[in-house]
Amino acid sequence: MHRHTLWMPVMLLIAGLSLTGCKQTSEAVADEESGPAKVEHLDGAEPSRVTLTEEAAKRIDLQTAEVRTIVINGAQRTVIPYAAILYDTEGNTWVYTSAEPLVFMRHRVVVDYIEGEQAVLSDGPVAGTAVVTVGATELNGAELEFEEE
């Protein structure tokens, strides 16, 4: 009888550890199912809002820069890093902007010309707006993948 009472706490401990492991596994599966990106279609309009998890933003090394206004040849011009520009299959130019952390929207821009590593815009977001310079291609892939479904 003495041996039976010694094994009982050991068995309860093993059972408790097993259940804890199951809980962690189911939580991990739930995180995987929600995915690294959430795409919201706004009134069926294009483009959509893309929200990333913090982990996803780290994985793609997401980086942003601010839209700036500078004087070029005596005129105020809006400029962004050339790295922020995406081209679609029809040759239209786009950027991803971020008004809040980890939330992105694709915006059409009109590029007047490229000078070095900066694009001078004739139409686009206002100065101070954050545009994605690294990770925009991945955002675009996430947005377009969800549009097809």
Listed as own residue / partner, the contacts of 36-44 with beta carbons closer than 8 Å and 24 or more positions apart are 36/142, 37/139, 37/142, 37/146, 39/142, 39/143, 39/146, 39/147, 41/147
Confidence of residue 35 (pLDDT cuts 50, 70, 90): confident
CATH number of the domain bearing residue 55 = 2.40.420.20
Residues 127 and 64 in one domain: yes
**Rounded Cα–Cα distance for residues 55 and 40 (Å):** 19
38-62 pLDDT, tens digit per residue, is 888 777 666 788 999 999 999 999 9
Q: Given a cut of 70, is residue 8 above it in pLDDT?
A: no
67-97 pLDDT, tens digit per residue, is 999 999 999 999 999 999 999 999 999 999 9
Residues 15 and 67 in one domain: no
Name the average pLDDT for the chain: 80
Q: Given a cut of 70, is residue 26 above it in pLDDT?
A: no
Residues 94 and 137 in one domain: yes
Residues 69 and 10 in one domain: no
Residues 73 and 131 in one domain: yes
Residues 10 and 53 in one domain: no
**Rounded Cα–Cα distance for residues 62 and 67 (Å):** 16
**Domain range spanning residue 11?**
1-34
Residues 50 and 111 in one domain: yes
State how many domains the chain has: 2
Q: Would you state the pLDDT for residue 144?
A: 83
**What is the total residue count of the chain?**
149
Confidence of residue 145 (pLDDT cuts 50, 70, 90): confident
